[in-house]
Structures are given as C-alpha cells and as structure tokens.
Structure 1
C-alpha cells in the first residue's frame, strides 16, 4: 500500500528529496522547498539547485561572454548520486572562494 503522503508529493519534490539525500553522503545538508511546480534544494549559501522533476539545474558561477547571461549546469533527475557529486564539487569551490575573500581579523591591537 502506498502512503497517502507519498501521493501528494510532486515529481519535483521527489527529485529534490533524492538529491538532498544523496548530498548527505558528501556531508552536505540541504533544505528542500517546493511550490509552483518546482522544488529548490538549498545548500548553505550556494549553490541553489532547482528541479521541475525532470532535470536539476544550478548556476555555474559563469557568465556567457556572448550573451552576458548566466550559464547553468543541467542534469537529468535519473541519477541523483552523480548530480550530488557535481553539486558537492561546486559547493566546495564556492566555500573555498568565499573563505579566501573573507577579511582576516588580527588578534591584538
């Protein structure tokens, strides 16, 4: 028998939950938010991954030189373990760049 709560979950929420669970294997904990047919997987300060239940996408951190628009990574929801590995790599990249850009506070004045 299928639990009634599972029947109300959208494909987007299901895909977001799968990614969130796969990210835990990398020591990354995320929140899932849903609405308007999409679900968001929020990982600390970045990246923000969203899904419509068919694909995952997130900003690469790059801007197209040709169009001036943000470039996104897009993966099919069929393999959340691979996607989690890619999101974890982006998370580490962002965390390291943020740590390097934060001011260093001296001890004694």
Structure 2
C-alpha cells in the first residue's frame, strides 16, 4: 500500500539558475518507508527489464534491501536510492568492481543491466541441456 504525503501538492515548482524553472514530481513513499521503496524500485526495474529488453528476472527482498536476480553472476541490489551490481574484477587490487545507477532513472539502469547481461551471456551461454529442456517445455505449451 502506498501512502501519499504531499506537502504543497503533487507538483512543486523549484526555481534555480536565475530565470529557468523546473517542475519536480513528488514520489509517493511506501508506508513501510525505505525498505518498501527498495522493493518498489526493484519491481519497477524488473518490469522495465522484462518489457523493454525481454530479460527475465527474480525479485527477492529483506533487511531493507531488494535484489533482482538477472543472470549467473548478475544480481542487482537496491536500497531504494540506487541500484548496484558486480561489473568486473580488479586484478591489481584483488577486489570486485561494482557499477551503480540512480534508482530514479529506471530506464537507463535497465538498459545498462541488460547490456551487462548480454556480455555475461556471450561469456557464459546456456548449456545444451538447458537449451534442449527449455525448447521441449515451450513446444508443449
């Protein structure tokens, strides 16, 4: 359930940089606070990945975070403000390298994550057994 908490209406006018103005739309805050916002953002990402990029995923949540499992080695974490995922390995420092994107820009984040999935798919394609299993399952439907 979403709780809408407007202060001065749905749209707020903000003046900045002299004469230019911007309109900012307020986002409805989930009633369970930041944890709910993480799930809401992750769900929006999951929907965008599926609708615009044909990327299936699973959504999990707990402890104030939400996880979108996209592919082997590609789990996107969300805290409601940003998404982050493993993008590589720093050989010199012996550490993982993470990419991140603001949760407000779902479309661009989904595009970057879909591109990362394509890279991983080319490096680690489906096994022949899984391809055969999925094709026989689809042919029965």
Question: TM range, normalised to the smaller chain?
Answer: 0.7 to 0.9
Q: Is residue 33 of structure 1 aligned with residue 60 of structure 2?
A: yes
Q: Report 1 or 2 for greater relative contact order, CA contacts < 8 Å, sequence distance ≥ 6.
A: 1
Separation in 1, partners of 2:102, 2:89: 21
Residue 74 of structure 1 corresponds to: 100
Separation in 2, partners of 1:23, 1:2: 23
Post-superposition Cα deviations, 1:21-72, rounded to whole Å, max 9, x if no partner, equal 110110001111000010000113231000111110000022252x321000
Would you say the 8 A contact 1:64–1:71 is kept in 2? no
Post-superposition Cα deviations, 1:75-103, rounded to whole Å, max 9, x if no partner, equal 11011110000000000100111139x69
User: TM-score, normalized by length of structure 2?
Assistant: 0.62
- Tell me: CA distance 1:78–1:98, structure 2 relative to 1, closer, same or farther (3 Å): same
Query: Which 5+ residue runs of structure 1 have no aligned equivalent?
Result: 104-109
Look at both structures and tell me which one has the larger radius of gyration over its CA atoms: 2
User: How many residue pairs align between the two structures?
Assistant: 99
- Counterpart of 1:53 (choices 80, 83, 88) is 80
Residue 86 of structure 1 corresponds to: 112
Query: Which 5+ residue runs of structure 2 have no aligned equivalent?
Result: 4-29, 129-141
Q: Is residue 21 of structure 1 aligned with residue 34 of structure 2?
A: no
Post-superposition, which runs of at least 4 consecutive aligned residues in structure 1 deviate over 3 A? 6-9
User: How large is the RMSD of aligned CA atoms in angstroms?
Assistant: 2.3
Would you say the 8 A contact 1:30–1:42 is kept in 2? yes
